Structure 1
Amino acid sequence: MQPRRRWRRPLTLLVLAPLVLSGCSSELNDQWARGGLPESVTDHGDRITTLWQGAWAAAFITGAIVWALILAACVVYRRKATDTGLPPQVRYNLPVEVLYTTLPIVMVLVYFYFTARDQNEVGDVKNDAAVNVSVVGKRWSWDFNYLDAGVFQAGTPGEPPTLYLPVGEKVHFDVVARDVIHSFWVPQFIFKKDMIPGRVNSFELTPTKVGFYAGKCAELCGTYHARMLFNVAVVERAEYDRQLEALRAQGNVGDLTDVEGPQQPRSGESLTIDPETDETESE
């Protein structure tokens, strides 16, 4: 009886630990329910999250079926002590061949349908947004052009700029790269868009929650790719207007989409960043 008692406490802790930990953080529970995705702060987030959850559910079900068939075959068709020689050979099994040919085709078609449906909805550009912004990716920072107001925010490497957006208003984004391929990514938007030199990519979304969100480049673009960061501040309309007026007062009037931005290395120069101060200088 003593060995059995010795095992009771570890087993009890093993069973109760997930329940206790799940009660410690509702946010962690929500993230698990979302399949590891952060909470979305745009109008497209729920659609993308649902697609992600469906893909995980289908993958788990498929994996469970495959493993069940493998284990069943191992048990049912295992070699017995009375068996002698090789098992009987058959040329083909038509029902099984039809099944493993048609079932993957059906699965791919289902995946394709839901992915194409949601991608078309998220990528639909109606050009009816209340706010229009141009985002320029450059090694290794960002320029934000507020096209309606005719002002801009120029970023410099090591100093993440902040993009201001009004909450509850549809925003049209034009994104382009000045030098190499970059990618505009805000994790809590549950969305990213590649930025290609010489090509303007567009998308539209509506921020739904006031807050301060981190953004980054999601395409390996060079030495200081990891420092190519920016912030997004979703604010009320009055605060948004104040920020644009502040840029105007600073003299940041115009559009940096098609011009060489500040702090860019000239031909033959390299750009270094001091890890202590994040200051930049050309060599």
Structure 2
Amino acid sequence: MVARSSEVRQSAVRHSASPGVGGRRRRGAGRLAGLGLGGAALLVLLTGCDVGKTFGGFGWPQGGITPESHRMYDLWIASCIAALAVGVFVWGLIFWCVVRYRKRGNDLPVQTRYNMPMEFLYTIAPILIVSVLFYYTAVVQTDVTKTTKNPDVTVEVVAFKWNWQFNYRDGQGKDANTVASVLGTSEVIPILVLPTGRSVRFEETSKDVVHSFWVPEMLFKRDVMPGNIRNVFEVSSLDAEGAYVGRCAELCGSYHAFMNFELRVVSPQQYDQFLAAKRDGKSTQEALTAIGEDPYASTTKPFNTRRDTANFNPDDVAAGAGS
């Protein structure tokens, strides 16, 4: 009887001790998960507004020169931070569950099926997250695509295979008059001169196929459609003077890759002088020289058309002799 009672007491001691050990382990796992989440949140808070610069913009180009480009960049960075926060939280829950509910015997852990508060949480939380992202996306998109009745500068962008023409207009729409024009050729890259601190309206049309007007530093591009379609967009201002390469971003034929132009951003005074020189009949190069700017594009160069040699029908080869 004594031996039997001592065995019972030892068994009771073992059973009573095991919950305490498990509780300490659970508390330790909870503390680790909490530290992990807290560290991730602290990292985001410490980086603050420099988080985009710290991580290279999360794949989004930096250095925008318009307020619209900054708004799109800020939306992208905020979306990435939100996605990382959700990801860190989910990863934390996964690792916590792996540690907390690892197998300790043959008994199943407590099941959470038909737990209405939890099911309500993981149904509503994603809807709230998507709704917030959708709201801010709609706000930024509306702001970026809005147009005004009286922009400071109106430019008609005319695309054709494989070059550009920029017409400075005295109003909006097809009925406005062109007061000055810049036409690109195979030998000279067209230069679009625009001022800082003024709103600019772009009215785009194509002479043949679909092209795309794109200046990477504007972080924005618009298709240039043929026919009666005029694709219109505006930028509220250009913030930095300089020369910026422009490209066609829509595959439009053999020389698509060489269909470039240059955006030259100058001061408002220089822009007015440039436009006055163009109105007086000066060429684009002469007008640029008059305001102290490089007369030719510095960010890109014309493509080689190979028109300076008789490469398709050499003069020194007899007809029918081949090459």
TM-score over 0.5 for the pair: yes
Whether 2:208 is the aligned partner of 1:188: answer no
Report the CA distance between 1:277 and its aligned residue. 5.8
Alignment correspondent of 1:100: 122
Instruction: Name the amino acid aligned to 1:113.
Output: Y
2:258–2:303 Cα contact (<8 Å) kept: no
Whether 2:199 is the aligned partner of 1:175: answer no
2:258–2:302 Cα contact (<8 Å) kept: no
* Structure 2 residue corresponding to 1:202, chosen from 229, 232, 235: 232
Closer/same/farther in 2, CA of residues 169 and 33 from structure 1, 3 Å limit = farther
Deviations 1:170-208 (A, max 9, x none): 111112233333222212122222222232121222112
Aligned residues: 232
Instruction: Name the amino acid aligned to 1:232.
Output: L
Q: Secondary structure at the match of 1:142?
A: strand
1:44-193 equivalent positions in 2, closer than 5 A? 44-80=68-104, 82-83=105-106, 91-148=113-170, 150-156=179-185, 159-193=188-222
Rounded Cα–Cα distance in structure 1 between residues aligned with 2:282 and 2:130 = 54
Rounded Cα–Cα distance in structure 2 between residues aligned with 1:212 and 1:124 = 26
Instruction: Name the amino acid aligned to 2:73.
Output: T
Alignment correspondent of 1:40: 64
2:189–2:302 Cα contact (<8 Å) kept: no
Report the structure number with the largest CA radius of gyration: 2
Closer/same/farther in 2, CA of residues 63 and 192 from structure 1, 3 Å limit = same
Rounded Cα–Cα distance in structure 1 between residues aligned with 2:158 and 2:113 = 62
Q: Secondary structure at the match of 2:156?
A: strand
TM-score, length-normalised on structure 2?
Answer: 0.62
Q: Could you say which structure has the higher helix fraction?
A: 2
1:233-272 equivalent positions in 2, closer than 5 A? 233-245=264-276, 247-248=278-279, 249=281
Q: Cα RMSD between the aligned structures?
A: 3.2
Gaps of 5+ in 1: 1-27, 253-274
Report the CA distance between 1:150 and its aligned residue. 2.1
Deviations 1:46-71 (A, max 9, x none): 32222122111111111111211222
Report the CA distance between 1:229 and its aligned residue. 1.8
Query: Higher RCO, 1 or 2 (CA under 8 Å, sep at least 6)?
Result: 1
Alignment correspondent of 2:259: 228
Deviations 1:130-161 (A, max 9, x none): 21101123333222111135222222458532
Whether 2:302 is the aligned partner of 1:279: answer no
